[in-house]
Amino acid sequence: MMSHMEQTLFPRLEALYPELVRVRRDLHMHPELSFEEVRTPQLIADWHERLGLEVRTGVGGRGVVATLRGGKPGRTVALRADFDALPLHDEKDVPYRSTVDGVMHACGHDIHTAGLLGVATVLSEVRDQLSGNVVFIHQFAEEVVPGGARSMIEDGCLEGVDVIYGAHVHSPKEYGTVGTIAGPAMAASDTFTVTIRGKGGHGASPHQTVDPVVVSGHLILALQSIVSRETDPLRSAVVTVGSIHGGNAANVIPEYVELKGTVRSFDPAVQEAAEASLERIIDQVCAAFRAEGTLDYVRGYPATINSHAETERITAIAERVVGAANTYEQAPAMGGEDFAYYLQKVPGTFFFTGGRNAEVDAVYEHHHPRFDVDERSMLVTGKIFIAAVLEELAAAQAD
């Protein structure tokens, strides 16, 4: 059953919906790439300043943090939304299509941002009744490692924060559904580059060369054994080579071949072992063919590990908002998310709000050039955020 405060604030959020759609579509039409955001953080800061909140800009680089102080002392709850776009050309035929060639919101960060502005608006109207504080973290550069979360944390965005919540609109799931998961939710996402150096020459005289193309073929196959033969099958991992570059002509054996790939894992021990195995296999395969191999391994975001208590809270709230039948246990995903850094500092959880709706052609996956979602997902996430804040602050008072 909804609390009295929820019964008051949920309709207020619904009344704001047309304005939130306007803001979301404005952001969608003016996307900005990671680490290049200027207009977006200014829009966010202006909104919070109009609400009379304490606003910090340039946090960790381009982040914005707004603080709502309740009328009485208490705990501090943080809510996070990201706001960067992707280097894709928007192929949708809609009035709010991106006006920036080659850049679009293809992951839903515009939805996250507009929705959180709505939550801030609603909660600011009852600030005198709140026992505690709410911190609105608007993060830049989630899409590109090293991301914005770590630098924002280093710049103090979590100072005094007791718990944090985050959400992502989820295009594979229907609007009106919510997925939660306790424990490992999203994987650590590392990248690697392998350079195989041989001896170039004429394609008709391979015996006079050391062919890095042939070596790369053997290496790609050998790397598959890291998961299939070196990793406990009950402890997940992925090793993928996604890019191969070498040579320019059919009759020329090149001097080198470059491979790029990614490693995904949930367990730090598996992550360590996979990196060590990569280095060992590269060295030995290359040596077997008289080539030289070098590895550049870059640690990406750590695994996103949700706290159990906070996940249980969000699950119960979601069941009130969308119904128990529409609340499901989200399976762990191998995608990466720098919300993980916040969870390393304070307890919290990251949940998923369904955004798929064929009636509005919102049927494409994240990072697709025709990506879109049902904008009402902002209301679902917003209501869950509002309820989580109210419960956290009330629980602290009860204690």
Find where tokens 């399976």 sit.
331
d(CA 394, CA 313): 13
Check if the beta carbon of residue 362 is closer than 8 Å to that of residue 374. Answer: yes
Instruction: Compute the C-alpha angle 166/171/177, nearest 5°.
Output: 70
Give yes or no: 361 in active site: no
Q: Cα 272 to chain center, whole Å?
A: 22
Catalytic residue among 6, 32, 37, 84: 84
> 3-class DSSP state for residue 267?
coil
Helix, coil or strand: residue 264: strand
84 is catalytic: yes
CA-to-CA separations, 21 to 94, 117, 241, 376, 381, in angstroms, rounded: 14, 11, 40, 9, 14
Kindly give, in sequence order, each residue whose CB lies less than 8 Å from that of residue 258, ignoring residues fewer than 6 positions away: 193, 194, 195, 196, 243, 244, 245, 246
CB 172 within 8 A of CB 356: yes
- 229-251 exposure pattern, b = at least 16 Cβ within 10 A, e = fewer: ebbeeeebbbbebeeeebbeeee
Residue 260 identity: K
Structure tokens given for 150 = 């770590």
Q: Which residue among 6, 32, 37, 142 is the active-site one?
A: 142
Return the residue matching tokens 């009860």.
398
Positions annotated as catalytic residues are: 84, 142
